């Protein structure tokens, strides 16, 4: 509306009264009315104009047949972002272009993106009293009357029954993590897929097919899938970077950031039940691998996972058994250790190929926005070789682990599961953290990291489990995963869109620098407060 309010007496003349708009919408008797509000700012004139508080917008209820969308919850603020639009509008515009996506799903996916981009600081909200279905972009039917599938989205469950002329056919949606991936079905080239563009194959005969995928700079992969009659089946294949001696020096020059499709988790060996040992049992003495990385052995045992005093996804507390011992790196992976990997392989990180990283901004509260030209080599602040490496995506961490397992085979290097991470972090303690926060963690600081191992370790000899750099875990994130109370060696949901991040980081306040605090983001995200540490299988 181009309003420029500088004084209280200008409100009447320049502002638009939301209630009047709602009244007009209701009196118009339209089948559907949609109002989108991305104007959730502090109210500078709360004394005269509102009694509900001075944060954000007051709650509005949608009249019959109306849909009201807010950039954030009532009484909260929304971030402007670093681009032309705010975080909310930027995410919403991307979803509006998707064909065949219902109104509610558009805003649900927008909410997921904003929550991830703001690290949980901003949660979009809707008031809905609509009846029937509405699509911003109508669906395009790929085969007969079969329900369409967005090339960049995911599909779940059965499709509408195809016409009889189709016969016994089904659909396969091939989802990959590598750009320029060629897709073969039973030896026949059927097209290409990429992280942002799934390949939809709607005309496959029912039964088992062999899918083979190949991409430059990646190892080829084959996997059988079962095509179901009149259904779309997702074929998720994660290709491994070829970082061996004969690998290309780097990835192709450009990688497009995936918008919705996350790769399948790397396989974790099935956990075999073992004897239960008290969580207070002391670990073995630290040891060093052949590449000079320090580890400590973590004993098997049981502990109470979660925090009933924390936020929703940390509840309920539940007993978890870690049935076999494992080893964990005593510190996060350092800049020096990451550089050794890059020097040996010529690896190009996702951030370097994409050309930007997510960094912290400040506008009353913390939010995140992309900045070009940054990477682990320059995360936006000075780093030394003994600092934790950051601007590392989950996919980058998997490439490092693949190389490490080639250089030092039979160790079984991997990321820790979320349960293993919290178990090791607590080290037998039941309090929110394993020591005084100022003595054990770098937190709530200006953008920067600190040398690893300079704060006090926990009783199991692990440094920087909290603060400094947050750390990737192996698991997919599930906001309600704890409600199932998984007991023995939990490994997270089978599928998801976000990976678990633990440990907080330099940007978080002490209230979130806790053993039970959970965070998450997309596997392709590269933030300048996120790194990783390595776990290892033990005999």
Looking at domain 8-128, its CATH architecture is: 3-Layer(aba) Sandwich (3.40)
| φ, ψ for residue 267, nearest 5 deg | -70, 135
Average pLDDT estimate for 349-365: 68
Query: What pLDDT, on the 0 to 100 scale, is given for residue 235?
Result: 85
Output the DSSP codes for 457-522: P-TTS---SSSSSEEEEEEEP-TTGGGG---BS----SS-S-EEEES--TTS-GGG-STT-EEEE-
Residues contacting residue 10 through CB under 8 Å, at least 6 positions apart: none
The whole-angstrom separation of Cα 155 and Cα 202 is 12
Q: Three-state DSSP class for 423?
A: helix
Which CATH number is correct for 164-237, 3.30.1330.10, 3.40.50.2300, 2.60.40.10, 3.90.70.10? 2.60.40.10
Give residue 210's Cα distance to chain centre.
Answer: 30
> Which tokens in the block code for residue 194?
């990429």
Range in 127-131, 146-150, 506-510 the model is least confident about = 146-150
The whole-angstrom separation of Cα 452 and Cα 449 is 9
Query: What pLDDT, on the 0 to 100 scale, is given for residue 139?
Result: 59
Given a contact cutoff of 8 angstroms between Cβ atoms, the answer to whether 15 and 9 are in contact is no
Within 10 angstroms of residue 409's Cβ, the number of other Cβ atoms is: 9
Within 10 angstroms of residue 520's Cβ, the number of other Cβ atoms is: 24
Within 10 angstroms of residue 222's Cβ, the number of other Cβ atoms is: 11
**Average pLDDT value over all residues in the chain:** 76
Given a contact cutoff of 8 angstroms between Cβ atoms, the answer to whether 448 and 465 are in contact is no
Range in 47-56, 149-158, 175-184, 416-425 the model is least confident about = 149-158
**The most confident of 129-133, 285-289, 312-316, by mean pLDDT:** 312-316
> Which tokens in the block code for residue 281?
């049992």
Q: Three-state DSSP class for 340?
A: helix
Average pLDDT estimate for 390-405: 92
Q: Is the pLDDT of residue 345 over 80?
A: yes
The whole-angstrom separation of Cα 437 and Cα 43 is 35
- pTM of full prediction above 0.75: no
Query: What pLDDT, on the 0 to 100 scale, is given for residue 143?
Result: 35
Banded pLDDT at 271 (limits 50, 70, 90): very low
Average pLDDT estimate for 215-221: 84
Q: Exposure of 47 by Cβ count < 10 A (0-12 exposed, 13-18 middle, 19+ buried)?
A: exposed
Name the more confident of 115 and 74.
115
Instruction: Give strand ranges (E) for 91-131.
Output: 125-128
Q: Which residues pair with 485 in a beta bridge?
A: none
Given a contact cutoff of 8 angstroms between Cβ atoms, the answer to whether 434 and 427 are in contact is yes
Given a contact cutoff of 8 angstroms between Cβ atoms, the answer to whether 106 and 98 are in contact is yes
Q: Is the pLDDT of residue 82 over 50?
A: yes
Q: Is the pLDDT of residue 487 over 70?
A: yes
CATH of domain 287-537: 3.90.1580.10
> Where in the chain are the domains?
8-128, 164-237, 287-537
Answer whether 164-237 and 287-537 agree in fold.
no
């Amino acid at each position: 509306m181009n309003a420029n309010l500088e004084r209280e007496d200008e409100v009447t003349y320049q502002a638009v009264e939301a209630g009047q708009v709602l009244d007009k919408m209701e009196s118009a008797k339209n089948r559907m009315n949609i109002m989108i509000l991305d104007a959730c700012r502090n109210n500078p004139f709360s004394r005269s104009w509102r009694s509900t508080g001075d944060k954000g917008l007051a709650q509005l209820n949608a009249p019959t047949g109306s849909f009201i969308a807010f950039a954030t919850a009532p009484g909260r603020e929304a971030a402007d972002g670093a681009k032309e639009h705010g975080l909310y509008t930027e995410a919403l515009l991307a979803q509006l272009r998707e064909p065949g996506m219902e109104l509610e799903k558009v805003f649900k996916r927008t909410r997921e993106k904003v929550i991830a981009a703001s690290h949980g600081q901003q949660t979009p909200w809707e008031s809905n009293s609509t009846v029937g279905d509405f699509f911003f972009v109508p669906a395009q039917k790929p085969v007969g009357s079969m329900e369409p599938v967005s090339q960049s989205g995911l599909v779940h469950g059965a499709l509408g029954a195809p016409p009889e002329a189709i016969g016994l056919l089904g659909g396969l949606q091939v989802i990959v993590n590598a750009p320029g991936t060629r897709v073969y079905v039973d030896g026949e080239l059927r097209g290409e897929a990429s992280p942002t563009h799934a390949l939809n194959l709607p005309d496959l005969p029912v039964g088992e097919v062999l899918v083979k995928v190949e991409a430059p700079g990646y190892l080829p992969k084959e996997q059988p899938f079962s095509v179901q009659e009149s259904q779309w089946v997702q074929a998720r294949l994660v290709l491994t970077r070829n970082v061996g001696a004969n690998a290309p020096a780097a990835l192709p020059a450009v990688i497009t950031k995936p918008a919705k499709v996350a790769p399948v988790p790397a396989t974790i060996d099935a956990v075999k039940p073992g004897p239960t040992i008290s969580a207070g049992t002391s670990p073995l003495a630290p040891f060093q691998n052949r590449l000079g990385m320090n580890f400590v052995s973590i004993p098997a045992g049981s502990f109470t996972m979660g925090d009933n005093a924390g936020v929703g996804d940390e509840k309920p507390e539940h007993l978890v058994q870690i049935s076999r011992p494992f080893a964990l790196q005593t510190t996060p992976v350092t800049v020096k250790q990451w550089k050794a990997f890059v020097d040996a392989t010529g690896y190009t990180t996702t951030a370097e190929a994409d050309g930007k990283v997510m960094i912290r901004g400040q506008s009353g509260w913390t939010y995140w926005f992309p900045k070009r030209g940054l990477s682990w080599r320059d995360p936006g602040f000075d780093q030394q070789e003994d600092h934790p490496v950051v601007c590392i995506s989950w996919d980058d961490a998997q490439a490092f682990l693949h190389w490490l397992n080639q250089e030092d085979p039979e160790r079984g290097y991997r990321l820790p599961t979320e349960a293993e991470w919290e178990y090791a972090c607590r080290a037998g303690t039941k309090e929110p953290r394993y020591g005084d926060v100022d003595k054990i963690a770098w937190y709530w600081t200006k953008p920067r990291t600190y040398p690893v191992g300079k704060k006090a370790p926990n009783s199991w000899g692990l440094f920087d489990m909290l603060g400094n750099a947050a750390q990737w875990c192996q698991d997919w994130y599930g906001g309600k995963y704890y409600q199932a109370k998984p007991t023995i060696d939990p490994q997270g949901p089978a599928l998801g869109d976000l990976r678990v991040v633990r440990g907080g980081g330099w940007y978080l306040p002490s209230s979130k620098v806790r053993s039970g605090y959970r965070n998450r983001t997309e596997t392709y995200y590269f933030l300048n407060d996120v790194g990783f540490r390595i776990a290892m299988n033990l005999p």
